[in-house]
Every structure is written in C-alpha cells, then in structure tokens.
Structure 1
Amino acid sequence: MKNITITLFAALSLLFACAAAHGSGYTVYSSVAPDATGMLFESIDTVTIAPPLRPDVRPVTMAQLEDQLRRPELQASLGKGSIAVVYPNVDEPFRSAFVAMIHGIEDRIKLKVRSYPVDPSVDTAELNATLKRTGTKVVIALGRQGLNATAGLDREISVLAGGVLLLSEADNVMGISLTPDPAMLFSRLRVLLPELRRVIVVYNPQKSEWLVKLAREAAKAQGLDLSAHVAGDLASAAKLYSQLIGSADSRHDAVWLPHDSTTVEESTILPLVLKESWNSNVPLFSSNVLHVKKGALFAMAPDNVELGRTLASSAMGVVAGEVRRRTLVPLRELQTAINLRTASHIGLKLGALQQRSFDFVYPQP
C-alpha cells in the first residue's frame, strides 16, 4: 500500500482538537508561509490554548502525534476507503468546482477516494448501504445537494460539509461554509485602506447572526469598529443602506455585503447599494466574488483545491479518533478579486506589484 504522508496541517488540526477535547492547554509555535493566492494567509507565530493543563492529562508531543497518524491501522483504513466523497451530479461550470475540491482531498490523503455523484432524487437508503459495505467512516459532503443526500446516513458515519453556503448554526452540521471568514476580509481591507476605522453591515439575524458574531471579534482584532444594523425585510434594508451610506465618511467608513439573501438581495438591494456607494465614494466590499464584476471594490472566492485539502485533513483526524463537536466555520481557503475601476474611482491607486497580489482583476485587460 502506498505510504501516506500526514501533513503538519493535519497534525496541528488534530492537536488543537485533542486539546479542546481534554481540556488541556499549551502553546504551539509554527510558521505558515503565504500561499499562491497572494498573501491571503498571515504567518502564525503563537497559538495559545487555555485552560492550563490538567494533572491527569499527559501532553502529546508533535512527534508522538505524527506517529499516531502514521499508524498502520489508520493507513489501512484510509486505503480501504474509510473516507468517501458525495457531491452533486451537475454540469459545468459548477462541476469543475467540485472536481477541484476532490483533487484537493486526494492530494492531501495521497490516495484516490471513492466519489459518489448524486442527483436530487438519490435513494439515501441505497447510498447508506453502499457506504457501509465499503467501510466508510467519514463522508465529505460537497454542495447542498451532496449534504442533503447524507441526511439518512447511519450515525456511525460522520459527515463533513464543504462547498456549500451554510448560513446558520441551525444547520447543525460539522464543516466549512463557503462564506469567507470576516477576519480574512477585514485583513485585506486594512491593507488596501489603512485609514479605515469603521465597517458598516446590514444583516438579518435569522441568517447571519453567527457570522456577525465572528465579524465583531475580527473587526476588534483589526482595530475596526463593526457597525451592525438589523433588517428583517427588503424595505428595511433599503432604507438603512440609504441612511448609512448617506451619512458615511468615505475616508474612514466602508460597507460590507455578507452572504445574506435578505439584506443583499440581488435584483433590488444590490443595484441600490452599488449606486449609493459609487455616488458617495464609500468603499464597498463583499463576501460574494460575483459582486466585484458589478462594482464592489474587492471580494473573496473559494480556493477549491485548498478547501479540499483542509476537508481531507479534518476527515483524517476523525478517522484517527479525533473527537469533534458539531461546528460551523467560515472559509479561510480563499482567493481575492479586485475591481480596478472602482479602486480608481475612490482614489485608490494600485501599482503592478499590488495588482499581482490579487487572483482576479477586473475589468479584465
């Protein structure tokens, strides 16, 4: 059987989870180099996990952890197909995104995984029987259609969701939402506009409360004030945007558009916000990369191969016995798009070197 190299990322992921599960506490020192997406990931110098180490818990060194992950039984389990992928049976261009995620999964596992394309009418009982017969322990469910197909699986099969826009903790799934991590957005925003002081967001709590909680912490870490305003319907959102953008300081304020179908409705709200921000020279950035083509200053999009690698690391941790609570996390495997016309309009001049730090540049030359 092919040897499997468990990466440092997987080891760190499992180490953090073990610390959380056992209530232990220690500091891990590492350094993560910027990836090819243009310095979207900052170096990690220290990560501290609290509370202090309990006397009845023995610390695990990195070498011991890597040895555990190289156990022959774990490698054999992976080789027999303990990890499977369920993804939507869709046409291009959507199919390519899921194929890229699968390539990332296989690259991290160092084995070809069993992949099951599913239709909306999939027989979940038959899928469950197939997965049990092949010894599947963890299913990586890609896309909403893939996630829905796993609803009838036995509890013994763990499910990791990815490549799907999970907007609420009420989804009660373990996985990675396609909505970008606010910390990543705000970090890029500060690089582009260092004089910025406040981020304005309008959101529907039923859809985005969990994300806004994260955004408050992320804004504070960046020295920003998050000015969050609740709107439960389109009319309220439109009124708020007009008021907030009209009174905003174009030098120190920016507007963030999260994934929220109420407050960032595409046919009515989005054109209104784009027009208001353009006329007021107030920077507008988005969690939806498609908005950059329409006039948003910048946005972030999934790096599908990297997302696949991260999902595979988590899946290997589960196979190795990692105890995980159901949790929804935002996406950190990202690429960034910039609209140069909008940048120029608000007085932001980006040289050739800065432009190369973006993965997508609009308008395209």
Structure 2
Amino acid sequence: MSLVRRSQGATAQPVAFVLLMANPDPSGWRGATTDLLRVILAMAFLWVPTAAFSASLLVVYPEAPEPYREAFAQMMEGLARTTQQPLRSKTLTAKTTPEAFRDWLMDAGPDETVVLLGYQALSLYGRDPPPVRRVIVGGVSVLPSQTPLPGISLTLDPMLYLHMLHTLLPNIRRVVVYCNAQEQPWIAQVEQAALAARIEVERVIVTDAFDVARQLRMTFQTLDPKTTALWFGRNTLTLNADLLYSYVLEQTWDRGIAAFSETVLLTKYGLLFALYPNYTEVGAEIGALVRQQTHPAGLQFSRASQFAFNRRTARHLGIALRDDVIRQAKPLFPEP
C-alpha cells in the first residue's frame, strides 16, 4: 500500500465540474440561471480544496524492525487519509547525522508542516531546533507535560481504561494502580481522570521487582474484589516477568480480582483486559492536528484505542459476556 498520496481534491475537481455541467436546462431564462449557478458551484468546488490542501507534509520517521515498522506505516496511512495531502518522507537510520536531519527541516517549504515520528526524530529536533516551523510530534509514549511541542502521544487517555472498567464491572468504585517511580507524572493524570469518573485511586509506587512483590502481598491481603480492581502500569510487572506474571495471575484468579494493564500479552495469560493504540487512528489524530490553524501546547493523550479481552477470565469473575464487547475485542482470548 502506498503511503504517499496525492490530494484527492485534484482529481475530484474536474469530475465534479463535468457532472455539474453535463445536463444544462435548455428552457430559456431558467436554464441560463441554472447554468450560471452550476458554474459558480463548480468554481467554488474547484477553489476551496486547492486553498486548503496545497501544501505538502514532511514526515520524518525511523528505520525500525517489525512490528515497529508496521506501526509507523499505519500511522502514516492514517495521517495521509485524514489530511488528504501529499507526504514527503525521510527515514532516519543509524547513520543519519544531526546535520543531515537539520538540512531536511531547513529544506522544507515555509508552508510545509513537519511531522516527527518516534523518539529519534524528537531527540534530534531537541538538540538544535531550526527556525520556526509548524512541527507536530507523534509515535512516542511520552506524557503531555514532557515536551512543549504539539502532537499526539501513544500513551492512551487514562479515562478510556476507567470507562472500559465501568462497562465490564459497574460496581467497581476503587482502583489500586501500580506504577514505576518514573511514571509518577502518568499517575497524576490517572488520578485526575478517576476524579472525573468518581472512582477512588490508590497509587502504589514501585522501584524494583522485590518492591512489587512486597507491595502486592499487602494489596492481596486487603483488597475487596467486589469493589476494587488492580491496574498495572507499563513498567511494573516487566521488572521481573518470570516471577511477577505467574504470581499476579495466580493471586487474581484465586481471589476473583479484576486486573488490567496496557500489555496485550498479560491479557492473553489471564488478566481481564488491556488497551493499546490503534496506530492508523493515531495517525488520523495527528492529521487532525495538522489541519488545525493553531495547535495546543504540548502533547495530547491519544483516544485511538484497541481492546484486548480475556473471556475466560470474564466468566470466572461472573461478568456477562455482552455481544458488543466481544465484537469490540481485538484480540479476544482464548482465541477461537
């Protein structure tokens, strides 16, 4: 699939003009007026898209192995689909120098928007930002407060997790959130979302695998599974996957505790659900920013999520398996 597309307006304009003018009304003054209206409408159709989408986009993205390469390709597809603008792309490799990167940006036209995808592009830009350009960032899992540049983070809006939890278990009013010490800016955002959702949040900050295991023992002894769920941040159980995965899965199953995360693999093993980015729609969100005349400061959370669900665990927890939830789950575990 080609990710570089010409503006569809350029091909649609002549077709629209022909359709409007192909069947003129021959009945005297009324026909002349109708023909004039057709001409005006056709000229308006021709002019507006050209003014809106004449500039191209420069997209800088990294050379990456699978599955990351496919993720960047999907983001570019969503970006092209939403903006309907031609994309010029530059690929960052291990041999790309800061000077070459800066030259790419300096060569961009004055009306050209630059989209930086991935950490490497963001890092190179931060070293020596060129003169003012419209720069938008994507393809990075940083928090809105961690860069002043506008863009869309791969970190999903915490409200999406709480909404899914309420859909599956409406009686849950408290969530114990495990997060790495480095993720404290993220947990602050989680607490804001929970306040809006009227859910109590208890944060558990961990630093290493031993700390996770120690804290979990206390949590499992006091947690009420009827009212409380567990949420594992990205860099918690991965501190020692061999030890912590099996312990958490065993304890949550035996005690009937709903637990969820950002990791699809954990849902496959037995946690209730996970949310992860829909990369094509993340690209579409970036494209929507490109189309805006002014951009908000800093990154925004993405709301383009996909849903992984373990129906075996759901049955064990007594959750009714609604058809709309099953259809939404991609992937659904255990696999048919």
Q: TM-score, normalised by structure 2?
A: 0.78
Q: 1:263–1:269: 8 Å Cα contact kept in structure 2?
A: yes
1:186 to partner: Cα distance: 0.4
Determine whether 1:354 maps to 2:325. yes
**What SS is found at the alignment partner of 1:200?**
strand
Equivalent residue for 1:282? 257
2:202 to 205, 213, 227: 227
Look up the equivalent residue of 2:65 and give its one-letter code: D
Q: 2:163 aligns to what? A: 187
* SS of residue paired to 1:164: coil
Q: Following the alignment from structure 1 to structure 2, what is the Cα–Cα distance between the partners of residues 170 and 96?
A: 26
SS at match of 2:139: strand
Q: Cα deviations across residues 113-136 of structure 1 (Å, max 9, x unaligned)?
A: 111121133112112212322316
**Aligned equivalents of 1:3, 1:299: Cα separation in 2:** 37
Contact 1:340 1:362 in 2 (8 A): yes
| CA contact 2:119–2:140 (8 Å) conserved in 1 | yes
Question: What secondary structure sits across from 1:85 in the alignment?
Answer: strand
The farther-off stretch of 105-114 and 164-173 is 164-173
| Counterpart contact for 1:203–1:263, Cα < 8 Å | no
Match of 1:133 in 2: 107
Which residue of 67, 84, 89 maps to 2:58? 84
Structure 2 partner of 1:237? 212
> Could you tell me which amino acid in structure 1 is paired with residue 222 of structure 2?
S
1:124 corresponds to 2:102: no
Distance change (3 Å), C-alpha of 1:264 and 1:248: farther
Equivalent residues of 1:168, 1:208 under 8 A apart: no
Change in 2 beyond 3 A, CA 1:125/1:73: farther
Which protein has the bigger helix share?
Answer: 2
Indicate conservation of the 8 Å contact 2:180/2:233, yes or no.
no
SS of corresponding position for 1:230:
strand
Does the 8 A contact of 1:140 with 1:161 survive in 2? yes
Report the identity percentage. Answer: 27
Separation in 2, partners of 1:159, 1:275: 47
Q: Trace 1:86-235 onto structure 2 (pairs within 5 A).
A: 86-135=60-109, 137-151=112-126, 152-167=128-143, 169-205=145-181, 207-235=182-210
- Give the counterpart letter for 1:273 in structure 2: V
**3-state SS of 2:254 partner:** helix
Q: Name the Cα RMSD after superposition.
A: 2.5
Distance in 1 of aligned mates of 2:295 and 2:81: 24
Compared CA separation, residues 309 and 199, structure 1 to 2 (3 A): same
How far the C-alpha of 1:269 sits from its partner, in A, is: 3.4
Task: Check if 1:331 corresponds to 2:307.
Answer: no
| 8 Å contact kept, 2:105–2:130 | no
CA distance 1:92–1:170, change in 2 (3 Å): closer
The alpha-carbon deviation at position 273 of structure 1 amounts to 2.4
Q: 1:275 to 1:150 in 2, by over 3 A?
A: farther
Q: Indicate yes or no: 2:269 matched with 1:294.
A: yes
Closer, same or farther in 2 for the Cα pair 1:271/1:148, shift >3 Å? farther
Label 1:360 to 1:72 Cα distance change in 2 as closer, same or farther (>3 A): same
Matching residue of 2:42: none
- How much does 1:249 deviate? 1.0
Matched AA of 2:256:
N
Q: Aligned residue for 1:29?
A: none
Whichever of the two has the greater Rg, that structure is: 2
Measured after TM superposition, the shift of residue 214 of structure 1 is 1.9
Paired positions, count: 291
Partner residue in 2 for 1:12: none
Equivalent residue letter for 1:208: E
Q: Is the 8 A contact 1:231 1:263 kept in 2?
A: no
- Structure 1, unpaired ranges of 5+: 6-69
Counterpart Cα distance in 1 of 2:142 and 2:315: 34
Q: CA deviation at 1:4?
A: 5.7
Q: CA deviation at 1:162?
A: 1.7
8 Å Cα contact 2:278/2:305 also seen in 1: yes
Aligned pair partner of 2:53 in 75, 78, 89: 75
The amino acid across from 1:98 in the alignment is F
Q: Residue deviations 1:189-229, cap 9 Å, x none?
A: 00100111111012234x22222222112212222111112
Residue 272 (structure 1) aligned with residue 247 (structure 2): yes
Query: Which residue identity is paired with 2:319?
Result: L
